[in-house]
Amino acid sequence: MKLPRPFDRLSARMLDAAMCGMMFAVQRRHRLDDGSREALSRYIDTCLPLSREEYYRVVPAEIAATNGALPSALTWASPITSGYRENDRVYALHFPAAAKDAPTILFLHALMSASDRGYRRWAARYNELGWGACFVHLPYHYSRVPRGYQNGELAVTADLVRNAEGVRQSVMEMRQLMAWLRAGGVREFGLWATSYGGWIGALLASVERDFRFVALLEPIVNVEHAIWQSPASAGLRRELRRAGIEPDLPARHFPLSSPLHGQPLCGGERVLLAAGEYDTIAPVADIARLQTLWPGSTLLREPQGHFGYRLMPAAWDWLSANGWLAV
């Protein structure tokens, strides 16, 4: 029996608040030093002359694949050196299709994603339809967590330079993976990206065009809101203000790092946006704004907060009903 929407709203807000409280506790561990504002300003000044194509440039990679049991593990050196040995090695699970030229779905997980079990199940469903699949460990997550830190802890903190470089690292690594898959015969991709992964996916779609579809589930699209209004960033925000960093400084980087400042090269008609009606972290109004900026894109809404399980099945059903999953 479906619960009434007032209960949906209350439970969604309670769950989002609990998760934001956990993030606040994690963010408080990371303090900025006296030179942080100047370091951020220098970084942005260095980036300003670059186009998105230059900022997220493709760097040749030597990707090694394990043989034997499936999924196979793909590993390679990251094109960006972060200073953390674990994070500078990329890791992905590859669930190949029977046909080498079959399309491949790319999964980009959420911030602090706790388990890959659900993605393995979705990969199996795509395999059943003839698709290949790849699940990538984003920077500072899973196999890439530096010793002494929690899963995803270093991906989003008050260190905005590290945050930006982590997003940049993600996009560049995905482009390397796509190039490797193309060399093996893949000509078409799908993108299934959630929350933090949706932010990265939106940026990836602005520099790569070979997507049959792009499905962004509760993506972080408004970087200004993510920093200065989101309940998930309360600890980060307090530290930025203590260091004298005001909104106009990071805003100078948004042409490179904000989904609202780019367009999907595959065309908006190939984009599915999915939002939770009660989401306070990736508000439905921001995702609706992206839909307006990406003409032809579709917006799904489900009665959940940022942390919920309705959107993935809804997105699958929509993609299936509209023929995007047929091989």
279-308: b (≥16 Cβ within 10 Å) or e: bbbbbbebbeebbeebeebbbbbbbbbbbb
Percent of the chain with pLDDT over 70: 94
At 307 the pLDDT is 84
Is 139:82 a contact under the CB 8 Å cutoff? yes
Express each pLDDT in 139-195 by its tens digit.
Answer: 999 999 999 999 999 999 999 999 999 999 999 999 999 999 999 999 999 999 999
Amino acid at the residue 221:
V
At 10 the pLDDT is 65
Q: Which two tokens stand for residue 90?
A: 């990329």
- Comparing 112 with 206, the larger pLDDT belongs to 206
At 2 the pLDDT is 44
At 4 the pLDDT is 46
Q: Which two tokens stand for residue 104?
A: 């491949």
Q: What is the spatial distance between Cα 9 and Cα 21, in angstroms, rounded to a whole number?
A: 18
3-state secondary structure 131-146: CEEEEECCCCCHHHCC
Indicate if the pLDDT at residue 218 is higher than 70: yes
pTM, full prediction: 0.94
CA atoms within 13 A on the CB side of 263: 10
Q: Running DSSP on this structure, what letter comes out for residue 265?
A: T
| Strand, helix or coil for residue 283 | coil
Express each pLDDT in 36-84 by its tens digit.
Answer: 999 999 999 999 999 999 999 999 999 999 877 789 999 999 999 999 9
Q: What is the spatial distance between Cα 134 and Cα 205, in angstroms, rounded to a whole number?
A: 16
At 30 the pLDDT is 86
